[in-house]
Amino acid sequence: MSIIEAPATSLRVLRFDRVQRGAHWANALLFFSLMVTAIPLYFGSFFGIVWPRHLIEMIHLWSGLALPLPIIISLIGPWGKAMRRDVRRINYWTREEIRWVRTLGRSTLEADKFNPGQKLNAIFVSASILVMLVTGAMLQWFRFFPVSWRPGATFVHDLFAYAIFFAVFGHIVLALTHRNALRSIFKGWVSRSWAERHAARWLREERPDNTEL
């Protein structure tokens, strides 16, 4: 055990293990597929398309049905330890973190592995998956739901679609402007100095090492 454990002075620490990186990119691929197919479905006649609409619908439908799988698969089972630990970190907030959101980032905060904004994004994404899945099912299998739900389901699917487009856009902009954090979703690790500056509490509480790099 002590042989494979990284020394405390290692310059790299593991931020996302392989399971988490795989789940992230599978999730991202499905979101990409859903968003790309959503555009012609929403604005089909705007683009004047005559190409296989049915195929686009099927891609959208199956991507949607598959959407919860990366998260669920990465959470359950013996491989999901890091994922489950991060879900707990995302869910449980300290008083300081709540105050940080209330003061719009003006109060001091010893940053966790994820800052409150990142945590909110993760919570929003997971709730959106549920809401889009349920309202999407209502639209696809409308015969099994009261017709009076159809306008509401359409409305909610639209509303969350707009919100998701903004959230994903913001996520990508922030990722591209934070290269150290961005590297960790490709390679798994961040430099210890970065973690000391941006995730001090995580470093202190979990003592992450680079054993899984």
Partner 1 sequence: MSVESRRGTAKTPPNDVNVGRRVFLGLAALGALGVAFGNSVQNFLGDVVGSGLGGLLPGGDRFRIYSITGAYPKISRDKYRLKVSGLVDHPTTFTLADLQSMPKTSFTKAFQCVTGWRVPDVPWEGVKLSDLLDHVGVKSGAVAVSFDSYDNADTESLTLEQAHLPDVIVAYSMLGAPVTTEHGGPVRLYVAPMFGYKSLKWLSGIRVVDVIEPGFWEQNGYPVNGWLDGTTGPNNPDPGLT
In whole angstroms, how far apart are CA 33 and each of 68, 125, 211? Answer: 14, 16, 34
- Closer residue to partner 1, CB minimum distance, 21 or 201: 201
Separation CA 87–CA 92 (nearest Å): 9
Q: How far is the CB of 160 from partner 1 (least distance, A)?
A: 7
Q: Does 42 bind partner 1 (CB under 8 A)?
A: yes
Query: Half-sphere exposure (CA, 13 Å, Cβ side) for 34?
Result: 26
116-120: long-range contacts, CB 8 A cutoff, minimum separation 24 = 119/89, 119/90, 119/93
Minimum CB distance to partner 1, residue 182 (Å): 24
Element (H, E) at 165: helix 150-176
Cβ-based neighbour number of residue 79 at 10 Å: 15
> Residue 6 carries which DSSP code?
P
Q: How far apart are CA 96 and CA 112, in angstroms?
A: 11
- Residue whose structure tokens are 């009261």: 146
Q: Name which position in 76, 98, 172, 175 contacts partner 1 (CB under 8 A).
A: 98
Does position 131 interact with partner 1 (CB under 8 A)? The reply is yes
**Do 13 and 210 meet the contact criterion of CB atoms below 8 Å apart?**
yes
Which segments of 48-68 does DSSP mark as H helices, in order?
53-66
Task: Work out whether 162 is an interface residue with partner 1 (CB under 8 A).
Answer: yes
Q: Between residue 57 and residue 76, which ones bind partner 1 under the rule CB under 8 A?
A: 57
If binding is defined by CB under 8 A, does position 107 make contact with partner 1?
A: no
Binding region for partner 1 (CB under 8 A) out of 16-24, 35-43, 62-70, 174-182:
35-43
C-beta of 42: minimal distance to partner 1 in Å? Answer: 7
- 45 or 177, CB closer to partner 1? 45
Q: How far is the CB of 87 from partner 1 (least distance, A)?
A: 8
* Shortest spacing between CB 116 and partner 1, in angstroms: 8
> Applying CB under 8 A, which of residues 123, 172, 173, 175 lies at the interface with partner 1?
123
**Least separation, in Å, of the C-beta of 113 and partner 1?**
11
Torsion angle, alpha carbons of 135, 129, 123, 114, to 10: -160
Residues near partner 1 (CB under 8 A) are: 41-46, 50, 53-54, 57, 85, 87-95, 97-98, 119-120, 123-124, 126-128, 130-131, 134-135, 138, 142-143, 146-156, 158-160, 162, 205-206
